[in-house]
Amino acid sequence: MLHVRVLGACRGFSADIIDGMRWAAGLAVPGVPANAYPARVLNLSLGGQSRCPSSWQSVINDVTARGAVVVVAAGNANQDAANFTPAGCNGVITVAATDRDGSRAWFSNFGAAVEISAPGVNVISTLNDGTTRPGAATYNSMSGTSMAAPHVSGVVSLMLSRNSSLTPAQVLASLQQTARRFPSGSTCTTSLCGSGIVDAAAAVAAVSPKKFQFAIGAQATVGQFGGPASVAVAPDGTVYVADSGNHRIQRFSASGTLPQRVGVIGQRRRTVQLS
């Protein structure tokens, strides 16, 4: 989890948000050290009333071109989300809020700019009880599309953990295809609240795990390490996977209790398949 602060008690500036997005995705920001751990999912529970400016659209284009998924709150003005930024920008996943009955939350923005909905009413949320300075961490019930968007961001993160090669477009398509239909009597329709209510289990299950296959002793790029990795098999059949710097080594027993993501195939155990 990477926290990037772009707003203060007195709100903030678009320039800071744009720089924060660039830095979070691993893009260069003048005068700021490079981000060693670029994020694949950016959650923006923020926004303002204006059509998407070119500066915002430009950074969204750059971030998504790098493979990051941008999830944004639709806004809480009970208006057309197309008239808000970043909700109305292209290339983002705009999330409306639903209540416990699956209807549109009375405050939630809506319209063609919305891709999907998620719970956003009376969501137990993390807070801090400090009034002028940081105090104790606490919880409280909160409502808003700012609560709805993180539901979708969390689901996207789980999807990418199964297959890190998914593109932003593929992520959106899968989210929408697996979304739960709005219940009978709901005030939501697909023209107001997106394709449906996000279904975490269905969205994650629909993702086929990425598989890697290579010969023992060869160098290969392994998704879980994010860089070159070496694979070796001990005489007892134990599989060892290490990154290029040997900073992290994972050991997988061949006793029949291999994790689902790792398997050894081939009669002579000469090939390792990771999924």
**Predicted local confidence at residue 251, as pLDDT:** 57
Residue 257 has pLDDT above 60, yes or no: no
Residue 236 has pLDDT above 70, yes or no: no
* pLDDT tens track for 97-141: 999 999 999 999 999 999 999 999 999 999 999 888 889 999 999
Indicate the range of 168-182, 183-197, 246-260 predicted with least confidence: 246-260
Task: Return the CATH number of the domain spanning residue range 14-205.
Answer: 3.40.50.200
pTM, entire model: 0.79
In the chain, the percentage of residues whose pLDDT exceeds 70 is 76
Residue 218 has pLDDT above 50, yes or no: no
**Predicted local confidence at residue 132, as pLDDT:** 83
| Through-space distance between the first and last CA atoms of the chain, rounded to whole angstroms | 23
Per-domain boundaries in the chain: 14-205, 212-274
**Predicted local confidence at residue 234, as pLDDT:** 57
What is the mean pLDDT of the segment spanning 201-205?
96
Indicate the range of 31-40, 50-59, 195-204, 266-275 predicted with least confidence: 266-275
What is the mean pLDDT of the segment spanning 173-181?
98
* pLDDT tens track for 23-45: 999 999 999 999 999 999 999 99
> Rounded mean pLDDT of the chain?
84
CB 194 within 8 Å of CB 179: yes
